[in-house]
Chains A and B, each alone.
Chain A
Amino acid sequence: MGKETVIPFGPQHPVLPEPIHLDLVLEDETVVEAIPSIGYIHRGLEKLVEKKDYQQYTYVAERICGICSFMHGMGYCMSIESIMGVQVPERAEFLRTIWAELSRIHSHMLWLGLLADALGFESLFMHSWRLREQILDIFEETTGGRVIFSVCDIGGVRRDIDSETLKKITSILDGFEKEYSEITKVFLNDSSVILRTQGLGVLSKQAAFELGAVGPMARASGIDIDMRKSGYAAYGKLKIEPILETAGDCYARTSVRIREVFQSIDLIRQCIAMIPEGEIKVKVSGNPNGEYFTRLEQPRGEVLYYVKANGTKFLDRVRVRTPTFANIPALLETLKGCQLADVPVLILTIDPCISCTER
């Protein structure tokens, strides 16, 4: 047995865009335990529900995270709509699904760039983020925002996308897909990427289930879990099968996210082909009274919203369980036994979003 030392990892580290701290207990260069500390940027956004009424809180929910901001707003709105029995127009459901899948592409492209950067593959990082710009441009054209859109509202959406713009999106995605196919070959076939990711941070199917993993982290270990299959928004009308891998290592997690971008493109094409004409929002009056748990699939996995209302315009409680929070136990387990030099890439492959976790 080697000498035991404790090395602090974070809260500031080149691979972490946001602060999280881990005390890594090492024997020589091998990690034997990882102890997390979070809360460096805890904002108490859930608590803000006491000061913002349930309509205003839509804007707060969107600000939980800058990457999946649309889906945070959507999850919150879905909870309120369920409590109030609001039937969202079908066109709005399709528009929500289009923006949600664009958000997934944007998130996965951002992550691929970060992975390339962590591997020291700077040109690949720049190509990933250059392509991502095309998606941000679609956001800007259809919503007016590139990060926070403010298009999701209780009862539907605030903006429509006309048929010309929908055609344009299809055309942009065709070009995007072609270029994206090229860079995925590097991620999946380059020998240095394979050497740094295959066999690293293995999470077995059993362990993924026992540790409550969600999203690509769980699917890379062979667990068939994807909230989109529950049929919320327009997903019930689309053909969708979860992307699964079985190796459970960093390479498998990369592969799942890469394939999910193609899946999102396909889902957007399905939406554009099927989107009906009609209203995009229904009027909502009164105050919610009751409680509801909403779950949807964010880029990092299942997110849960618990909303409790009391019949006034102020809610009793909004609780958000983010996918990164759910994946921390699995991360801590996969770190055990890995080499210190592999820790940054391993942590990155859960695609941690500290902003979400520090809601």
Chain B
Amino acid sequence: MAQQTINTISPNELLAYALRLKNANYRLVAISSSNVENGIEMSYSFDSGNDFVNLRIIARPGDEIESISSIYSYSFLYENEIKELFGVNITGISPDYKDKLYRISVKTPFNAKEGDNNG
């Protein structure tokens, strides 16, 4: 099985890292999110051959996370999803469906666990 590495970086380093991976012919596999104590943890997964790399950032409340759709065009779907389900403020998504990708009645339903005060 492929080796898995997780590189924790700051949000403002994201585009530079993504560009480096794109230039090295890495494929964007997925973008995943989960709630952590100080915000939303986002993992950008890439692969090339047997190499499986994850870039990890923490989106703190109020943070603007720049979209990587200018580098990986198909990231727009993951980013629209995370924006709608987790409420992460991702800017510059192309195309940005402006919270209309999902037909859900609850706003940002995955933001914070049930029972948490900030959810």
Which A residues form the contact surface with B (CB < 8 A)? 35-40, 42, 44, 46-47, 50, 209-212, 230-232, 292-293, 295, 302, 304, 306, 308, 316-317, 319, 321, 325-326, 328-330
Beta-carbon contacts under 8 Å, B25-55 to A: 27-30, 32-35, 43, 45, 50, 52, 54
Residue tally, chain B, CB below 8 Å to A: 33
Please encode chain B, from 7 to 28, with 1 for each CB lying within 8 Å of some chain A CB and 0 for all others. 0000000000000000000011
Q: Is the CB of A295 within 8 A of B76?
A: no
B48 to chain A, nearest CB (A): 11
Once A37-B100, A212-B28 are accepted as A-B contacts, the answer to whether A328 and B77 lie under 8 Å apart by CB is yes
The tally of CB-CB contacts under 8 A between chains A and B is 81
Q: Is the CB of B103 within 8 A of A40?
A: yes
21 contacts across the A-B interface (CB closer than 8 A): A37-B100, A38-B101, A39-B103, A39-B104, A40-B103, A46-B110, A47-B109, A47-B114, A210-B73, A211-B73, A212-B28, A212-B72, A293-B52, A293-B54, A295-B29, A304-B30, A304-B45, A306-B34, A317-B35, A325-B77, A326-B30
B46 to chain A, nearest CB (A): 11
CB neighbours (8 Å) of B32 from chain A are: 304, 306, 317, 319, 321
CB neighbours (8 Å) of B95 from chain A are: 35
Q: Is the CB of B27 within 8 A of A212?
A: yes
In the A-B complex, the 5 residue pairs with the smallest Cβ-Cβ separation, listed nearest first, are A39-B102, A317-B34, A329-B74, A321-B30, A39-B103
How far does the alpha carbon of A317 sit from the alpha carbon of B113 in the complex, in Å? 10
CB neighbours (8 Å) of B29 from chain A are: 212, 295, 302, 304, 321
Known pairs A42-B102, A321-B29 / 5 extra A-B pairs, C-beta < 8 Å: A35-B95, A37-B101, A37-B103, A38-B101, A210-B74
Which B residues form the contact surface with A (CB < 8 A)? 1-2, 4, 27-30, 32-35, 43, 45, 50, 52, 54, 72-74, 76-78, 95, 97, 100-104, 109-110, 113-114
CB neighbours (8 Å) of B27 from chain A are: 209, 212
Q: Is the CB of B28 within 8 A of A230?
A: no
Name B2's closest neighbour in chain A (CB-CB).
A230
Q: Is the CB of A306 within 8 A of B43?
A: yes
How far does the alpha carbon of A319 sit from the alpha carbon of B102 in the complex, in Å? 17
B35 to chain A, nearest CB (A): 8
CB neighbours (8 Å) of A295 from chain B are: 2, 29, 52
CB neighbours (8 Å) of B4 from chain A are: 292-293
How far does the alpha carbon of A268 sit from the alpha carbon of B72 in the complex, in Å? 37
How far does the alpha carbon of A330 sit from the alpha carbon of B73 in the complex, in Å? 11
CB neighbours (8 Å) of B35 from chain A are: 316-317
B82 to chain A, nearest CB (A): 10
Q: Is the CB of B103 within 8 A of A319?
A: no
Once A212-B72, A308-B34 are accepted as A-B contacts, the answer to whether A38 and B103 lie under 8 Å apart by CB is yes
How far does the alpha carbon of A231 sit from the alpha carbon of B1 in the complex, in Å? 6
A277 to chain B, nearest CB (A): 25
How far does the alpha carbon of A82 sit from the alpha carbon of B78 in the complex, in Å? 25
CB neighbours (8 Å) of B54 from chain A are: 293
Name A302's closest neighbour in chain B (CB-CB).
B29
How far does the alpha carbon of A292 sit from the alpha carbon of B73 in the complex, in Å? 26
CB neighbours (8 Å) of A304 from chain B are: 29-30, 32, 45
CB neighbours (8 Å) of A230 from chain B are: 1-2, 50
How far does the alpha carbon of A319 sit from the alpha carbon of B110 in the complex, in Å? 11
How far does the alpha carbon of A212 sit from the alpha carbon of B30 in the complex, in Å? 9
The listed residue with most B CB atoms (<10 A of its CB), out of A293, A319, A326, is A293
CB neighbours (8 Å) of B33 from chain A are: 319
How far does the alpha carbon of A145 sit from the alpha carbon of B45 in the complex, in Å? 35
How far does the alpha carbon of A230 sit from the alpha carbon of B49 in the complex, in Å? 10
Cross-interface CB contact of A316 among B34, B50, B72, B74, cutoff 8 Å: B34
Name A304's closest neighbour in chain B (CB-CB).
B30
CB neighbours (8 Å) of B73 from chain A are: 210-211, 329
CB neighbours (8 Å) of A42 from chain B are: 102-104
CB neighbours (8 Å) of A209 from chain B are: 27
How far does the alpha carbon of A329 sit from the alpha carbon of B114 in the complex, in Å? 32
CB neighbours (8 Å) of A36 from chain B are: 101
How far does the alpha carbon of A316 sit from the alpha carbon of B4 in the complex, in Å? 19
The listed residue with most B CB atoms (<10 A of its CB), out of A44, A304, A317, is A317
